[in-house]
Amino acid sequence: MKPSSGAVICRRRRTDKRLVAQEYSSIARTYNVASVATKDRGTRRLRALIRKGDVVLDVGCGPGAALPLILGLTGPRGILLGLDISRDMLLQARGKLSSWARKTKQDKLCTDARSSRVLFILADGEHLPIKRNRVNVALSLLSLHRMDPEVGLKEIWRTISPGGYIFLELPAAHDEDAMVFEHIPPGYLPDHLPRGFPEGFKLDPACWEKEQQSWKRFKEFCGGRIPWLAEAISRGWFQGYDELRARYEEHLAGRIGKRELEEFIRCWEERSRSGRLGWICFPTHREFARILEELGKSGAVLVEANTSSFEKEIMDLLRTRRRYFELYVGMFSQVVRTHSAILWKPPWHEGGT
């Protein structure tokens, strides 16, 4: 069933950004996995896109994995803008950049907070405090999924100056798949499941099939009772409905009645409208293509787009295979690949919208 409007879907899956900020602040000292998946590819692309003197914006810079490279590429006349929703992440990023400057004897690159060359910005990626057409290159590496990717990308596009580029990468869902363990070679599965999986879940095809059947029932239920949620799930939105699905399973098992389920749905929809749910979006391939197509209507030229398959070399970068599973699958149950794209704003583009 088609939704009544895209705006309704967007409004009902608002995320409490305070919860996002708290989550990332709690892991700021140990979080450095975002650079693992993008290290080699990201380095090559950044070297190709960034020129001396550029203004570069890193949306969701986290602990600053890419900042030393960017600062080196922009040269003494460039400007680096590191933006994140977590204050603690920005503190880690500042420390990483200062350490890099000392080690490479480039202290004159001004990593001080008062510098006009390096600015750390505490802000939400959906509301960038940056004027139109001011950025030459913007990147967002594994951060758009913690906001509405379409809204965040359009906001980044607004800041890009004619002739500038956007380089983005975000986790990808598998179209219409509830669980994707079958996409991971057996040798990379852990001996024991990490926290966050259903009690009794096992890493074997029979259990995967049972879980997928459960998902299909839930999505069919949503299609009839909560159409906008069914549409959101098909696009790659998840986590905001964990409690709802649990209550639905209780109803199927006969532990709660229909009236109690309906009351919970009413309360759940109110929480969703007020932005108190922890929505995350790993876009499906179709949803990612749609987002890029929508931006193309604003004049964006797609230079490159890719959806990765299973990548053994990424797993091998980590110390243990179980560590990969915990980080890239974990509670989300579906992340083993990424979408990436490079977009260009032509020099003749006007308006910057």
**pLDDT at position 38:** 47
Per-residue pLDDT at 305: 92
pLDDT of amino acid 348 = 85
The pLDDT value recorded for residue 202 is: 65
Distances from the Cα of 58 to the Cα of 34, 71, 126, 135, 144, angstroms: 13, 11, 13, 10, 12
Task: Please give the radius of gyration of the chain, using alpha carbons only, rounded to the nearest integer.
Answer: 21
Residues of the chain with pLDDT under 50: 1-11, 34-38, 111-114, 177-180, 328, 330-335, 352-353
Cα–Cα distance for residue pair 112/318, rounded to 1 Å? 33
Instruction: Tell me what pLDDT residue 156 has.
Output: 97
pLDDT attached to residue 9: 43
Angle in degrees, CA 168, 15, 341, rounded to 5:
10
pLDDT score of 117 = 85
pLDDT number for residue 6: 41
- Cα–Cα distance for residue pair 249/103, rounded to 1 Å: 56
How far is the C-alpha of 219 from the C-alpha of 226, rounded, in Å?
9
CA separation for the pair 245, 250 (Å, rounded): 9
Which of these, 281, 297, 274, lies nearest to 335 by C-alpha position?
281
Calpha distance 53→56 (Å, rounded) = 9
Full set of structural domains in the chain with CATH = 14-174+281-344 (3.40.50.150), 175-279 (no CATH)
Beta-carbon contacts of 37 under 8 Å, excluding residues fewer than 6 positions away, are 142, 169, 314, 328, 338
Q: What is the pTM of this model?
A: 0.81
